[in-house]
Amino acid sequence: MRGLARQIGVSPSLVSQIERGRVMPSVGTLYAIANELGLSLDWLFGEAPAHRAGAGREGPQASPATVQRRGTHTTIGLAGGVTWERLTAGPDELDFLHVVYAVDGSSCPEDSLIRHGGREHGYVVSGRLGVRIGFEEHELGPGDSISFDSSSPHRLWAVGDEPAHAIWVVLRRHGDTRGQAAT
């Protein structure tokens, strides 16, 4: 536990509290833990890749589509007022999420940007979302979209007095181990 804490730049106490379910990690801390331990977001959502919907099915019974009905999505509430709702029925090659940043919610503190493997694509559904990538800042509103390399230090946050809702896709995060929490 101490080694993990040292590697990701947090206290052993925080790691212990997260492990016992007493504290919800921030987006940055969650990515840092997952990257350091070699875990996928599928594992964090409580599913192993071997449980992929439709995996191993062959022949005429296999369906070309998996439907995920409203109210059946797996959700993770994170520190900083962030909620991730997985939009796939199970593990997949990409992270496909409905993200919500509560009023004053953010992926990480202003002075601590995050980075990880992959490429991100986001589309704002409602509210306003601030996105900082390196030294660039963007304010996105409904209908705006953005794409960027996830290994660039970045931060996302709700702007204004209403939550920001967005659809988010992260490609190739699983195969890229470059991700570390940036300071």
The arrangement of secondary structure in 2-48+72-171, i.e. its CATH architecture, is Sandwich (2.60)
**Ranges 70-74, 155-159, 176-180: which has the least confidence:** 176-180
Tell which residue, 153, 163, 164, 78, has the closest CA to residue 111.
Answer: 153
Tell which residue, 123, 152, 125, has the closest CA to residue 137.
Answer: 152
Q: Is 78 helix (H, G, I), strand (E, B) or coil?
A: strand
Q: Where are the domains of the chain?
A: 2-48+72-171
Tell which residue, 169, 170, 153, 44, has the closest CA to residue 118.
Answer: 170
Quick one: how many helices (H) and strands (E) in the chain?
4, 9
* Amino acid 182: pLDDT: 36
CA distance 153 to 133: 6
- The average pLDDT across 4-12 equals 80
In this predicted model, what pLDDT tens digit does every residue of 10-36 receive, in sequence order? 888 888 877 777 777 777 777 777 777
In this predicted model, what pLDDT tens digit does every residue of 113-168 receive, in sequence order? 888 888 999 999 999 999 999 999 999 999 999 999 999 999 999 999 999 999 99
